């Protein structure tokens, strides 16, 4: 006899609650199964994303910030969410889920660390952003090419090392030289960074963690859309 | 008649300044070795736990607290820390406290020397560094510290982008090299061993006040 819970027997509300628990515990297979069940019951992909995955990761994020969860546990949760996202991503594109904005993100030249960046990417996708992830070790030319190709609203720069974080200034200074700095919101993040550094290099904001990155990106987009709307009305 | 003879007295050798070294716990053993080899009886060390590296934002104020607690008994205070991911905040605190720090972003840099470290980082940024301390405490700091004992499936997440492990060996020790080989194998990466000695640290500590 097995004590394993059959997710199919749960009501929608119970299943969503169970998925929050499974996400917290980093159970990728269960999350994938839960996503498929909800889709099978006629849920829209965007609803599955926001009510089960994003809401579940918000609990994980809050407990991480409060020191209840640590990096390994968060990474396991993120891995579980990634499994669910892989199912939902193509469906979200097909069903025209709302898009808040577009971001080009990458770890800067000389740096191969991407754990924080990957978390930010996934949480932003979950929040309705289209994210173009350039990966690791990106020279300024790669950012420029991606900006030209994708025309993002936001540029995200990530670095884990004291020795590589100065390269963020190289990217921002290049945007200034080309006269396009004010066309984009520039967010920076990474363990050795702080607000003073972000200000000193001319970034728009420093994002301490993935949850802050999402809130900051949303807030800048709201202001940007507000100002566009204001211009149109005027 | 000759006047009184003055017997010249030898010039006094000034006592070296009583020096406190505020250091990362990962460097304590190396400091004590240098102290013994050089006869630095005027020097003492006080350490902060090496695990503070997991929360670098806490290092600057922890260093400041240690300096303030101990400095009244010393003529001079030195700091044996890299920037260690504090993003310049440690240097800001040290400037406020008037304390000099060894140059370098990480201990890897002052073990290897800035020029070599930069060349190596430029040549292959996907290098994971080990020191004598990290090799000795590999299981507790790396395996358990990153949760790989509980979640071995995270190995790829943490180390998937690395291409090599470089062991910066401070003191020749075949047993540590063997342990470094096992550590690199556990990470699934090739190992390169570089003997660095302790010259960078020694030069800094021997520098006149």
The predicted-structure confidence for A42-70, as pLDDT tens digits, reads as follows 999 999 999 999 999 999 999 998 989 99
Separation between Cα atoms, residue A104 and residue A187, nearest integer Å: 10
pLDDT, average across residues B126-149: 95
Question: Closest chain B residue to A71 measured between Cα atoms?
Answer: B146
Q: Enumerate the residues of chain A whose CB falls inside 8 A of the CB of residue B85.
A: 160-162, 191-192
Question: Closest chain B residue to A161 measured between Cα atoms?
Answer: B85
Which tokens belong to A15? 């299943």
Scanning B13-72 for CB atoms below 8 A from A yields 56-57
Kindly report the average pLDDT of chain B as a whole number.
Answer: 93
Could you say which of B121, B150, B157 has the minimum Cβ distance to residue A163?
Answer: B121
Name the strand (E) or helix (H) holding A116: helix A115-126
pLDDT at residue A1, as a whole number:
42
In sign, the C-alpha dihedral spanning A208, A213, A219, A220 is: positive
Sequence-separated (6 or more) residues with CB below 8 Å from residue A63:
A24, A69
Q: Enumerate the residues of chain A whose CB falls inside 8 A of the CB of residue B89.
A: 194
pLDDT at residue A229, as a whole number:
56
Say what angle helices B199-206 and B28-38 make with each other, to 10 degrees: 60
A72/B86 touch (CB, cutoff 8 Å), yes or no: no
- Looking up tokens 């021997």 gives B206
Separation between Cα atoms, residue B35 and residue B24, nearest integer Å: 16
pLDDT of B1 above 50: no
pLDDT tens for B3-49 read: 556 666 666 677 889 999 999 999 999 999 999 999 999 999 999 99
Q: Enumerate the residues of chain B whose CB falls inside 8 A of the CB of residue A71.
A: 146-147
3-state SS track over chain B: CCCCCCCCCCCCCCCCCCEEEEEEHHHHHHHHHHHHHHCCCCEEEEEECHHHHHCHHHHHHHHHHHHHHHHHHCCEEEEECCCCCCCCHHHHHHHHHCCEECCCCCHHHHHHCHHHHHHHHHHCCCEEEEEHHHHHCHHHHHHHCCCCCCCHHHHHHHHCCCCEEEEEECCCCHHHHHHHHHHHHHHCCCEEEEECCCHHHHHHHHCCC
pLDDT at residue B5, as a whole number:
61
Low-confidence ranges of chain A (pLDDT < 50): 1-2
pLDDT tens for B153-202 read: 999 999 999 999 999 999 999 999 999 999 999 999 999 999 999 999 99
Q: Greatest CA span in chain A, whole angstroms?
A: 70
Name the strand (E) or helix (H) holding A119: helix A115-126
Of the candidates A5, A223, A93, A115, which has an alpha carbon nearest to the alpha carbon of residue B160?
A: A115
> What fold, for A102-233?
Rossmann fold (3.40.50)
Shortest distance, CA B54 to any CA of chain A (angstroms): 10
Question: Could you give phi then psi for residue A70, rounded to 5 degrees?
Answer: -120, 175
Could you say which of A72, A111, A136 has the minimum Cβ distance to residue B151?
Answer: A72
Which tokens belong to B158? 């943490």
Shortest distance, CA B56 to any CA of chain A (angstroms): 7
Catalogue all structural domains in chain B, each as residue range(s) with its CATH number.
19-101 (3.40.50), 108-195 (no CATH)
Domain-wise residue ranges, chain A: 8-95, 102-233
Of the candidates A150, A108, A112, A106, which has an alpha carbon nearest to the alpha carbon of residue A130?
A: A150
Q: Please, what CATH class does the domain formed by A8-95 belong to?
A: mainly alpha
A110/B161 touch (CB, cutoff 8 Å), yes or no: no
pLDDT at residue B54, as a whole number:
80
Residue A180 touches partner B, C-beta closer than 8 Å:
no
Residue A135 touches partner B, C-beta closer than 8 Å:
no
Listed in order, strand segments (DSSP E) in A55-213 are 101-107, 129-133, 154-158, 185-189, 205-206
Name the strand (E) or helix (H) holding A17: helix A12-24
Sheet strands side by side (includes A185-189):
A129-133, A101-107, A154-158, A185-189, A205-206
């Amino acid at each position: 006899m097995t004590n394993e819970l059959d997710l199919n027997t749960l009501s929608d509300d119970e299943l969503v609650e169970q998925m929050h628990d499974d996400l917290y515990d980093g159970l990728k297979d269960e999350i994938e199964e839960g996503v498929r069940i909800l889709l099978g019951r006629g849920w829209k992909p965007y609803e599955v994303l926001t009510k089960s995955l994003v809401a579940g990761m918000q609990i994980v994020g809050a407990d991480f910030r409060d020191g209840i969860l640590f990096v390994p546990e968060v990474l396991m949760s993120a891995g579980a969410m990634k499994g669910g996202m892989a199912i939902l991503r193509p469906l979200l594109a097909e069903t025209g889920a709302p898009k808040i904005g577009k971001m080009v993100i990458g770890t800067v030249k000389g740096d191969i660390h991407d754990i924080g960046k990957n978390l930010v990417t996934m949480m932003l996708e979950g929040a309705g952003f289209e994210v173009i992830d350039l990966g690791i070790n990106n020279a300024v030319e790669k950012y420029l090419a991606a900006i030209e190709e994708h025309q993002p609203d936001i540029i995200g720069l990530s670095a884990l090392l004291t020795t590589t974080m100065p390269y963020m200034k190289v990217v921002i200074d290049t945007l200034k030289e080309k006269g396009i700095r004010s066309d984009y919101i520039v967010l920076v993040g990474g363990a050795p960074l702080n607000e003073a550094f972000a200000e000193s290099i001319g970034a728009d904001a420093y994002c301490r963690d993935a949850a802050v990155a999402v809130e900051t990106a949303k807030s800048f987009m709201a202001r940007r859309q507000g100002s566009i709307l204001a211009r149109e009305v005027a | 008649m000759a006047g009184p003879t003055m017997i010249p007295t030898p010039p006094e050798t000034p006592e070296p300044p009583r020096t406190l070294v505020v250091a990362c716990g990962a460097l304590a053993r190396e400091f004590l070795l240098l102290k013994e080899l050089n006869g630095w009886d005027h020097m003492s060390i006080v350490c902060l736990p090496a695990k503070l590296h997991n929360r670098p934002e806490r290092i600057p104020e922890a260093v400041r607290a240690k300096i303030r607690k101990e400095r009244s008994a010393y003529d001079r205070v030195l700091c044996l820390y890299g920037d260690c991911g504090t993003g310049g905040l440690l240097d800001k605190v040290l400037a406020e406290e008037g304390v000099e720090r060894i140059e370098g972003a990480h201990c890897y840099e002052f073990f290897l020397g800035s020029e070599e470290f930069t060349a190596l980082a430029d040549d292959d940024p996907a290098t994971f560094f080990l020191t004598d301390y990290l090799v000795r405490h590999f299981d507790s700091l790396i395996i358990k510290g990153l949760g790989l004992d509980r979640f071995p499936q995270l190995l790829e997440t943490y180390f998937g982008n690395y291409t090599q492990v470089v062991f910066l060996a401070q003191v020749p020790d075949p047993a540590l090299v063997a342990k470094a080989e096992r550590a690199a194998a556990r990470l699934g990466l090739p190992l390169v061993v570089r003997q660095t000695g302790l010259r960078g640290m020694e030069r800094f500590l021997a520098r006149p006040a």
